Chains A and B, each alone.
Chain A
């Protein structure tokens, strides 16, 4: 029986059709996946259902009745709830206070706490209403958001990339909750790009590509690869690893300890490891366990003890990013816009960020603009960056294209050591495969590559060895061969897994 039916929904923005004639339905008591690359129109679509955006054309029916929410409040009253990818919680307030803030007429705090405890018990979401949100793990914070939704008794729960911040064990717990909800008749619209998860969780999947519905499939009968190919619209080739052949340690980190400059950041504690030439080393871990701090310490944006970092036996702990680049240590930070690239500047100007000294894109401080344009064009060509021209601003590129540009900018400078944080975060499947292949080829050429990522599948695919970063501490590296996702998950979660 159909819960919500979307008919011919269309939404246009200047220059782009975000949703083009979308028609599909979600049944009662069904977990329905919404699949698609970045920019395929998933967000716009769920925003229309949640009343944040109004369609230009088309209609929705909820339980057979016309449904045109003009704002989220109307959608909530009709029984639609949504858990966003980014939480909106106040760290200084308790769980119950946070939940009360989102309610129209919050009951007294004791009644509310009671209800929270009941709901959390019923769905296996253990949570103490009196705890401060600032003390909760990311997985527990997500539970707050979910309980906030469940208190409304929703008919349809929309979840946007819910597992991107969870450990494998937390993911399992979440799936149990979702299945219980489904069995009680709640429908779930589940957005994710993790295809393996969709295979085990969802009954049906609707696939979007460039704003259009490409088709509906039964994930159980598909492979992750076949679904990815439907999303992308072309055949994918998986990156190929050649036989490992490591050289001498090229990057040595010894007892690196650093306080974080961010009050909610994580301090690094006694981090030691060696990265060998030709090796791809993966650093797994849940976000917020010191990834950003480790990245900044290695890139030189934050300085550390002189001998805590050695590159080819040179002590570089006190060297700034420019000096490290000249010695051959290049980096690509997680945040593309605003950190790895300046949004308002053109691609040609963006080559100067890391290439000015190492690529000699200037003389005596004067910019060599033709040189920068030529270098940018080389990146665009060799890394298949889709842009009308290298004079276009970095912010005009899609996430995947800009990431290819950023990775290409560093790789084409022949790094000896390349450190990258979340190389394929928010990047479409085709671009992700391309980037992983480029990282493997770089290591094959003799460079040491350190990949910090929260995507375990990605790390399993490309790493030779494996470490886990947890609460600012790093585990001993292990060869990636023979390690299981469950084992990594236990290393990642530490004590935080409930």
Chain B
């Protein structure tokens, strides 16, 4: 029989290195996946990890990496607080959609108003949209002890159908020949989130994400709020002893993650996506969960993890077009990353014992 036995003193160096081991294992087993698909694994891995950053067309891809990394990092930062406190918001995708719809609707209601206040107002409303959507599972958990994992996840599908209802109904572009799409924000300068420097991919969302990394870093390491979050996650009863109200903690953590996901949705809508469509959600809210864990729930780690995942997104596009691999193969590849991260994590914290050994 095989059993896991906790290591009395897991090595800190190993804990820090787990993401790197996970990436290496993903390359090996992902490579095998590509072999089974009949492709040269070395080429495929190179196209995923190397070409987006240093390859021939990297000047274009680098911007794409930032565009994709920014929402992942912003959402993951929000999720990391709750995950540290043991509050599992799995529905960031829904909050991302609701942020985009509510913030976007605010802008569209003001079309074609020319004012520098339109965009900040939309950011605010987008955050509030995500916040309120995340407060639904918070309320149900506090009031009825409903599992926030299930509620927040189910609300993703509600949000998605709400989006479809809006783009085929009230938010449909009146000049759009009945396509299920909203007006394009590129045609609405006060509401547009443009690329600030041509070719860099940097838009307002990227800059604010960087600010959020610093902000989250300070909150988690220097402020009593971050301390209470860590305390609530590690020792819930000690947190109560210290005077932390667990219900407030649930509301705040879900609220923060919802607001950041909503804000990310708004930046995505007004910038890279351009308009609300039924294909607007591409899974950032789910991938951000991987980013949060890959970054060890630490703001700096999340910054790097977000960039890494964005590279695999861009690299995935490259292998799709150049090796004509299916989109699902890159999703499997990304899933492996989380799987190996969790697996390596367990091996660092536990040792495997085979047969009947001593127990504690």
| Chain A residues with a Cβ under 8 A of chain B | 13-14, 52-54, 70-71, 299-301, 320-322, 325, 331, 333, 335, 338-345, 349, 352-354, 356-357, 362, 365-367
Contacts and interface: CB of A to CB of B under 8 A. Distances in A.
Contact of A340 (B230, B231, B241): B241
A352 B227 contact: yes
B245 A320 contact: yes
Enumerate the 4 nearest inter-chain pairs by beta-carbon distance, A residue then B residue, closest first. Answer: A322-B243, A321-B243, A342-B235, A353-B242
A365 B235 contact: no
B231 A345 contact: yes
B241 A70 contact: no
A320 B356 contact: no
A335 B241 CA distance: 11
Contacts of A331: 241
Contact of A353 (B9, B241, B359): B241
Nearest to A357: B243
B256 to A, nearest CB: 15
Contacts of B235: 338-339, 341-345
A365 B219 CA distance: 10
A156 B9 CA distance: 36
B234 A344 contact: yes
Contact of A325 (B223, B243, B356): B243
Given A352-B224, A366-B223, A14 B8 contact: yes
20 contacts: A13-B8, A54-B358, A70-B356, A321-B240, A321-B242, A322-B243, A335-B237, A338-B235, A339-B237, A339-B238, A342-B231, A343-B234, A352-B224, A354-B241, A356-B242, A365-B224, A366-B223, A366-B224, A367-B223, A367-B227
A345 B84 CA distance: 14
A301 B223 CA distance: 23
Interface of B: 8-9, 222-225, 227, 230-231, 234-235, 237-238, 240-243, 245, 356, 358-359
Most-contacted residue by chain A among B230, B231, B242, B358 (CB, 10 A): B242
Given A339-B238, A342-B238, A365-B225, 10 more contacts: A52-B359, A53-B358, A70-B356, A71-B356, A300-B243, A342-B231, A352-B227, A367-B222, A367-B224, A367-B227
A333 B241 CA distance: 8
A352 B225 contact: no
A362 B224 contact: yes
A54 B358 CA distance: 7
B113 to A, nearest CB: 39
A299 B224 contact: no
Contacts of B231: 342, 345, 353
Nearest to A355: B242
A338 B243 contact: no
A70 B359 CA distance: 12
A35 to B, nearest CB: 23
Given A362-B224, A365-B224, A367-B223, A340 B243 contact: no
Nearest to A354: B242
Contacts of A53: 358
Given A14-B8, A54-B358, A353 B224 contact: no
A410 to B, nearest CB: 11
A341 B235 CA distance: 8
B234 A345 contact: yes
A340 B225 contact: no
Given A14-B8, A71-B356, A325-B243, A340 B222 contact: no
B357 to A, nearest CB: 9
A52 B243 CA distance: 41
B241 A352 contact: no
A14 to B, nearest CB: 6
Contacts of A339: 235, 237-238, 241
A341 to B, nearest CB: 6
Nearest to A353: B242
Contacts of A335: 237
Contacts of B240: 301, 321
A354 to B, nearest CB: 7
